[in-house]
Structure 1
Amino acid sequence: MNKRHATAAATAVALSITLAACSDSGGDADSSASGVTVSHIHGLGLDPSDQRLFVATHQGVYTPDAKGEPELVGENKDDFMGFTVAEAKTFYASGHPTTGGNKGLIKSTDAGKTWKSLSLSGESDFHALEYAHGTLYGYDATNGLLRTSKDGTAWKDGAQLQALDIAVSPKDPGLVLATTAEGVARSSDGGKTFAAGKQPVMAFLSWQAQDGLYGIDTSGGLNRSKDGGATWTKVAPVPGGQPQALTAVGAEHVLAATQTGVYESKDGGKTFTKRLNVEASGGH
């Protein structure tokens, strides 16, 4: 095996480990004498109305309280997988009920306090959701395909692929990227077809500003592309090691979750501030 193939094999294994971690449905938020601890995270977002941080986990959605400690939003402790903030107080998510099965697509219009089922209940588990150009883009991990919807109820099936995360161009609704074991795969037709993945391998992607496409690799290194993923520049490691989630809020504003915390950068990833403590989840 030559060096290139050995590297590809190693990165495929690393991404597989990350994929397996995100498929684990065990609980990892619990109450203790010192308060609530939060581990395995699947999604991050800021409500644009008040810049409040929301963190989707295996046991509900949390937000920092006045002291920066995790506080459960509402009463729902289901396993939240795909999660995205669409607009002020309007969130979309997917995952698993505490009783098992798939939630399909669910929606909240009160900043995560309550949720209602929209579609695909019992059928689909979206591990990644993006809202862009008035369209929901979702990676349905149950069926291994990219799906799109204008209203959250009627879906169009796209390409079949094995992916962990997706990102949509803020300028071109047809340009969709996906993280695969081979590298970042590219679609120019809204997810109907994807070209083969190309290095580097990323675990998660997020794309809010045209020149601010961010990717975090399996070791927790933050990367940035200013040309839609054609070339990448390594920015800096995010504190805390293995990544769990990534959300770009703007061209220089990034949120990232790792094994030790949720971190925020307002200078394009050069420096990070911890927004929320995370309990290392060991076995995940």
Structure 2
Amino acid sequence: MKNRIIFLAAAMAFIMMIFAGCTGTEEKQEPAQKQESTEKQQSTDKNITSDISEEEFIKKASSQKIDHVHGLGYPGNDKGLYIATHNGLKMFINGEWLETAGQNHDYMGFQATADGFYASGHPEKGSDLKNPLGIVKSTDKGKTLEKIAFYGESDFHFLSVGYKEKVVYLINEEPNSELERGVYQSKDQARSWETVKMNGLEASTLGMMAVHPENGGTFAMATKEGIFMTDDYGENMRKSGEFEMVTAAAFSKDALFISPVQEQKIKMFKLNPSQEGTAEELSIPHLNHDNPITYIAADPNQEGRIAFMTILNDLYESEDGGKTWKQLLVNGKIEQ
């Protein structure tokens, strides 16, 4: 019992870091000022565009250590696994690490979609963009960012968007011009917002959210009390299974992947939403108690292709549904 208490306390400390939204340098970042920059950016009413050519915008990644990750996923307009970092996007494509030559913003709440991605966060150093970015969208691998909502007002650590049916869910941590603190959803790509009622959510924390790739009304909320699901846009929530301290969640077309703490170990399970109570434990590499899983991604276009990232920036990917795993990053190090 004593060992279990010690383990849960340590795991909870790291989980709360995740749920608190990484209150580090990004929270303290000063509003961006106009400065000379190696990348010229043109900002219109709707779009933020880099003037780097399409051919030069994606380049081979330099050797580096990634310190902060705020999301990962498989955009449908590319073949690779994307990682949103403190310094822009990194992509693992055809066995090689690539990165963007511009628009290297501190992306948060990154969500891959069928035609690109949504994100929030803060502009890169030297940019003349407003801080924070609000919600932005890209359909060209990050070269152009469309301003969707709350530009210059808010950043959202907890943001989730449907892959095909682009229902947007967010946790608003600080009031802005439209929203008070709380959980909200939009069915019209952020033009209007409704409070997510979440009746039946018996949890003391809110955390990572996951939306079904084809049904925007189906989403899940990870909490320290377990995983809660809904099929009616969050009107009513139900607990799935007897898991505790779920730190990450992601939907594929037919399953929900979650990472809970169970039996004093960090684990991963595959749930079948259509068969309540059905859970298959996946065999994952051993993770120490101070290295919980923070993000999971499932590729809607390639069955069995899933990835997960840990708080210490270890990245693993499987192409056979979790039977075998390949480690793509060790402690966030890209070595070319």
Into which bin does the TM-score normalised by the smaller protein fall? 0.7 to 0.9
Q: Does 1:105 align with 2:126?
A: no
Q: Is the 8 A contact 1:46 1:52 kept in 2?
A: yes
Matches for 1:33-182 after TM superposition, within 5 Å: 35-64=63-92, 68-69=96-97, 71-88=98-115, 90-98=116-124, 101-121=131-151, 122-132=153-163, 134-142=165-173, 143-159=181-197, 162-170=205-213, 172-182=215-225
Matched residue, 1:190 = 233
**Shift, 1:180, TM fit:** 1.1
- The CA deviation string for residues 142-186 of structure 1, in whole angstroms up to 9 with x for no partner, is 233132232233333323784221123356543221001211122
**Per the alignment, do residues 238 and 58 of structure 1 end up closer, same or farther by CA in structure 2, a change over 3 Å counting?**
farther
Is 2:260 the partner of 1:233?
no
Q: Is the 8 A contact 1:92 1:106 kept in 2?
A: yes
Gaps spanning 5+ residues in structure 2: where?
28-61, 174-180
Question: How many residues matched?
Answer: 271
Q: Deviations over 1:50-93 (max 9, x none)?
A: 41221101221112478734x432412322111122124x2111
Higher strand proportion, which one? 1
- In structure 2, what residue type is equivalent to 1:75? G
**What is the one-letter code of the residue matched to 2:147?**
S
The runs of 4+ residues in structure 1 deviating greater than 6 Å are 4-11
Q: Distance in 1 between matches of 2:182 and 2:7?
A: 25
- In structure 2, how many angstroms separate the alpha carbons of the residues matched to 1:62 and 1:56? 7
Alignment partner of 1:249 is 2:296:
no
Q: Say whether the 8 Å CA contact 1:104–1:117 is kept in structure 2.
A: yes
Q: Which amino acid aligns with 2:184?
A: L
Percent identical pairs in the alignment equals 23
Amino acid at match of 2:156: D
SS in 2 for 1:268: coil
Taking the aligned partners of 1:14 and 1:261, their CA distance within structure 2 comes to 15
CA root-mean-square deviation: 3.5
Which of 260, 282, 290 in structure 2 is aligned with 1:217? 260
From the superposition, tell whether residues 120 and 238 of structure 1 become closer, same or farther in structure 2 (CA, over 3 Å). farther
Q: SS at 1:17's partner residue? A: helix
Quick one: distance in 2 between partners of 1:25 and 1:260? 17
- What is the rounded CA distance, in whole Å, between the counterparts of 1:54 and 1:22 in structure 2? 20
CA distance in 1, matches of 2:134, 2:119: 8
- Within a 5 Å distance, the mapping from 1:3-22 to structure 2 comes to 13-20=13-20, 22=22
Instruction: Give TM-score scaled by structure 1 length.
Output: 0.78
In structure 1, stretches of 5+ residues that fail to align are 28-33
Name the CA distance, whole Å, in 2 between partners of 1:7 and 1:192. 35
